[in-house]
Amino acid sequence: MHPVLFKLGALLIPSYGALAAAGVLVALVLAQRTARTAGVSPAQVWNACVVALFTALLGSRILLVAVNWRELRRHPMWMLGLATIHSPWLAGAGVLIGGLAAFAYMRWQHQPLLATLDALAAPLACGLALEQVGALLAGAGFGTEASLPWAVVYTHPLALRWNGTPLGVPLHPVQAYAALAYGTLAVLLLVGMPMRRRAGDVAGAGLAGMGVSVYVTELWRDPEGRGQLLNGALDGPQVAAIILVLLGAWILLERGRRGRRPATGSAVRMGDAHE
């Protein structure tokens, strides 16, 4: 495949970084549209996204430096290669840090939490789809060996150097599977957004759908560096996927119980609007 998207003289533009950045931009623009549909401020949604992205990038890189501090002290020039390092644990730490920062910002600004999450669900799925396309080009998060007509074979030495991708071996294009799953989920969430009955419906469905997508696609990813639990029955991302499904189900069930409470009048409608 193509770990380098294009060259500018001696400067290499990595495919993964470029497509991940494109995913972020598309998600930010799309979130402005879904924010209006969800009835929340597009400006505040934009700010929450920027806070999450900045803290996720900064926090994950600080964590990476802290974990590898001894090696970096001996080889300071390795600092220049930190941007090319990708791992599920690093990505998970970034998501957690960014999510906590965004939650703190939303509470500080008194944003309606569930309605804001509804606005972010489809853009996040769309951004993840583009990120996985970049991973497919770069060989990041590569799949297990496969003897299929659609298997991918990496030959570029930078795929091996940057991501540890085996060269000359037919592999499951698991990143394409994930991109298709996330893209389909994004379309379904966008279609369902105007039809939601309560704040939180789209967010709950989005979290559950992302969890299912992660869990299923992990079945074809190479397990190296992803952690193992229950004697290899689960890996780290699959555990995170189960948590996402449970969280999404909890939001949907909780909203359903609240929706069935016997209450009438404008006060109830106003309460739903501010949840």
d(CA 118, CA 33): 12
CA distances to 24, 56, 99, 236, 241 from 92, in Å: 16, 9, 10, 9, 11
pLDDT band for position 268 (50/70/90)?
Answer: very low
pLDDT band for position 144 (50/70/90)?
Answer: very high
| Span 37-90, pLDDT tens digits | 999 999 999 999 999 988 988 887 787 777 667 766 766 655 555 555 566 666
- Residue 69 placed within a domain: no
Interhelix angle for 88-108 vs 113-138, to 10°?
160
- Residue 95 placed within a domain: no
Mean pLDDT in residue range 168-189: 96
E strands, the chain, are 4-8, 11-14
What are the tokens at 271? Answer: 């309460």
- Residue 252 placed within a domain: yes
DSSP codes of every residue in 3-59 = SEEEEETTEEEEHHHHHHHHHHHHHHHHHHHHHHHHTS-HHHHHHHHHHHHHHHHHH
pLDDT at residue 116 in the model: 93
Domain count, the chain: 1
| Span 208-240, pLDDT tens digits | 999 999 999 999 998 877 777 777 778 788 888
- Residue 100 placed within a domain: no
Which amino acid type is present at position 80? Answer: L
The residue range of the domain holding 178 is: 4-40+112-273
- Residue 81 placed within a domain: no
Distance separating the N- and C-terminal Cα atoms of the chain: 46
pLDDT at residue 45 in the model: 92
pLDDT band for position 193 (50/70/90)?
Answer: very high
pLDDT at residue 211 in the model: 94
Whether pTM exceeds 0.75: yes
CB 165 within 8 A of CB 224: no
| Span 89-124, pLDDT tens digits | 667 777 888 889 999 999 998 889 999 999 999 999
- Residue 70 placed within a domain: no
- Residue 85 placed within a domain: no
- Residue 133 placed within a domain: yes
